[in-house]
A = this chain, B = another copy of it.
Amino acid sequence: MATIKDVAEKAGVSVGTVSKVLRNVYVRPENRRRVEEAIELLNYQVNTYAQGLRASQTYTIAIIVPDLINPFFALLVNYVEQVLAAIGYRLFVCNSHCNAGRELSYINMVRRNKVDGLIAVTYSNSTEYENADFPLVSIDRHYAGESCCVASDNAMGGELAARKFIDTGCRSVIYIHNGSLLEGETLKRGHTFLNTCRQAGIRSTEIHFSEETTLDNVRIRQIEQFISQSTRDGRCDYDGIFASSDVHAMVIRRQLERLGLKVPEDLQVIGYDGMRVMNVGGYYVSTIVQPVKEMALACVDNLIRRIENRPYERSVILPVRFVGGGTTKGDPDQPDPEAEADLTW
């Protein structure tokens, strides 16, 4: 493997000059040409570890997500990588499994690696983020430190769901969630949903499932059990169920159908996220669509601004939209035309 020294020798200049060419600092055109030639000739590749050791920048970002099994996170990581690759950054991906210890171990890894910055979807209450001594963009969570929070407009999402249930004549609705109960943007989903429904005179309750488990199957069983208990003699206590994610909306719908109920005729279900069948087909359920791509873009943009000490937003809230996916009444039959079009960039 050729080093900067080899290049300098071949080009007849000093290593300092080669370094400058590498970093696009001005050198005499003649020298630049010779260095570039030598680089080409030797198939030279800069050693990022040496570069990272000496310089401050590593052009590396890490993203912490619970896992890539949830399609929403997979999509988010997909787009984040795409945006970063376009500007010459690489991406470490870290699955936290919602475990504070794991998150911490990644934060330390980030420090060890001198990663330039971190994008995190966190469900733990780790104080490590508060005193983040590195550029940090958080999804859905605000931190006291110098970080940026990117989120979809959860209040708007809650309201859209409420409006749908109100407009279709629901009498008793429930918000089923099991995310974090810590301060965070996602709490607004439920608050706004419940407030809006209550103001419309609809009976409104909520139920929260423990976040003490990373075993999704356990959560799923809990939700299924709750749905079963809420249903007697083919009638459910609720006629409108708003779930904090599409995955859970799916589980709820499935359980209702197992119990012999018809969705949306007997009762309606709305999810959150906007996931589509294998990411190319229709929506699984009626849902509040999060603008994943735009969120990825906002994350990267603000993180890089922060890294480069340019002004950045402390908070970015992006609009959501409601889309009918067969689990609500009165939606157009046609699939959302945009749905098919927004796969490619």
Interface residues of A (CB under 8 A from B): 1, 45-50, 52-53, 58, 67-71, 74-75, 77-78, 81-82, 85, 90-95, 102, 108-109, 111-114, 214-217, 220, 246-247, 250-251, 254, 275, 277-281, 284, 340-341, 343-344
Please determine whether B49 and A113 come into contact, CB atoms closer than 8 angstroms.
yes
State the number of copies, please.
Answer: 2
A65 smallest CB distance to B (angstroms): 10
A299 smallest CB distance to B (angstroms): 15
Partner of A280, one of B49, B82, B216, B279: B216
Specify the chain B residue showing the minimal Cβ separation from A67: B78
Which residues does chain B contribute within 8 Å of A284, judged by CB atoms? 277-278
Please determine whether B114 and A95 come into contact, CB atoms closer than 8 angstroms.
no
Q: With A71-B279, A217-B344, A277-B284 given, is the CB distance from A93 to B77 under 8 Å?
A: yes
A131 smallest CB distance to B (angstroms): 12
Q: With A279-B70, A284-B277 given, is the CB distance from A78 to B95 under 8 Å?
A: yes
Which residues does chain B contribute within 8 Å of A48, judged by CB atoms? 49, 112-114
Please determine whether B68 and A68 come into contact, CB atoms closer than 8 angstroms.
yes
- Bound Cα distance A81, B69 (Å): 12
Which residues does chain B contribute within 8 Å of A77, judged by CB atoms? 68, 93
Please determine whether B344 and A216 come into contact, CB atoms closer than 8 angstroms.
yes
Partner of A69, one of B52, B78, B91, B250: B78
Please determine whether B47 and A112 come into contact, CB atoms closer than 8 angstroms.
yes
Which residues does chain B contribute within 8 Å of A344, judged by CB atoms? 214-217
Partner of A114, one of B47, B277, B280: B47
Please determine whether A254 and B281 come into contact, CB atoms closer than 8 angstroms.
yes
Q: With A71-B279, A81-B68, A113-B48 given, is the CB distance from A92 to B95 under 8 Å?
A: no
- Bound Cα distance A280, B253 (Å): 13
- Bound Cα distance A58, B324 (Å): 48
Q: With A112-B46, A216-B280 given, is the CB distance from A95 to B82 under 8 Å?
A: yes
